[in-house]
Amino acid sequence: MTSVKQYGPFALLTLACLGIGCGESVTTATTSVLATPATVLTPQAPEAAKEGADPASPSPSPASDARAKPSATSAESKKSARLATALAALTIGLTPEEAEAEPVTLVPVTYQEFEARRKAKNGQTKYTLVDVWATTCGPCKENFPHLVALHHKYAGQGLAVASLTLDPTDDARALTDARKFLNSQKAVFPNYLMNEEEGVGYEKLNINAIPAVFLYGPDGKEIKRFTLDDPDNQFTYEQVEAYVSALLRGETKPK
């Protein structure tokens, strides 16, 4: 607590067909996501596709290989690049086009802007869940995978998920760590950075500690909050999911 104050071979085969054409073999396809917001790296071209390659030349290190871009004139490289993008998209549940469109982002917003963006979903979803966290909060990062799981499990049922970090905006390292963390978690939902003086986020949200989870109805009004402010009434993310699941099943006042 910080205070203030999986795809079956058929799915892969389908992507392979889309990326390079059925019947063609793929020598290798390795993908990576940079720590900077959702830049999808493409694999280095297979050795056989490199024109004029020196067999005696040493193989590139894994790091340099990950950063290498395929030759614009190599058909094999282009095919491998397309497959790599498709595979990267598969791992985070997006289309290749979405994967190239910077799916993991961290957007600085004032509290007023955050509220405006959140309420903009009014009528589009049944409920909106916001997880408040920071890179300096161990429990926040430990429980963040639960938020990602909620997104994947309930997005199709009417739940919109977002995260809001209270990392100080003047701490470059914290912001870099936040972007790296979001990419590592494949947090492809909206992620916001409270662009206010330190402490304002806690004040505006009326909380004393994080993590904290807020649930809003389709009208934008808060209907439930899960916080650690009361030492005798600490929440778990299992309780958050149980509450959300009950609401989505039609229970108006879940226990």
Query: Who's near 127: CB < 8 A, 6+ residues apart?
Result: 158, 159, 160, 215, 216, 217, 218, 223, 244, 247, 248
* pLDDT of the residue at 65: 33
Give pTM, 2 decimals: 0.61
* pLDDT of the residue at 49: 39
* pLDDT of the residue at 50: 39
* pLDDT of the residue at 235: 95
Residues 43, 26: Cα–Cα separation, whole Å: 12
**Residue 164 DSSP label:** E
Chain position carrying tokens 């958050």: 240
* pLDDT of the residue at 104: 87
Cβ atoms of residues 143 and 211 within 8 Å? yes
* pLDDT of the residue at 121: 67
* pLDDT of the residue at 251: 86
Residues 98, 85: Cα–Cα separation, whole Å: 10
Q: What is the pLDDT along the chain (255 residues), one digit of tens a residue?
A: 555 444 444 343 343 344 434 443 333 333 333 233 333 333 343 343 334 444 443 333 333 332 222 334 445 555 554 554 444 344 334 445 544 555 788 999 999 999 999 888 666 678 999 999 999 999 999 999 999 999 999 999 999 999 999 999 999 999 999 999 999 999 999 999 999 998 999 999 999 999 999 999 988 899 999 999 999 989 999 999 999 999 999 987 777
* pLDDT of the residue at 38: 37
Query: Who's near 70: CB < 8 A, 6+ residues apart?
Result: 42, 43, 44, 45, 77, 78, 80, 81
* pLDDT of the residue at 14: 41
What number of CA atoms fall less than 13 Å from residue 64's CA on the CB side?
4
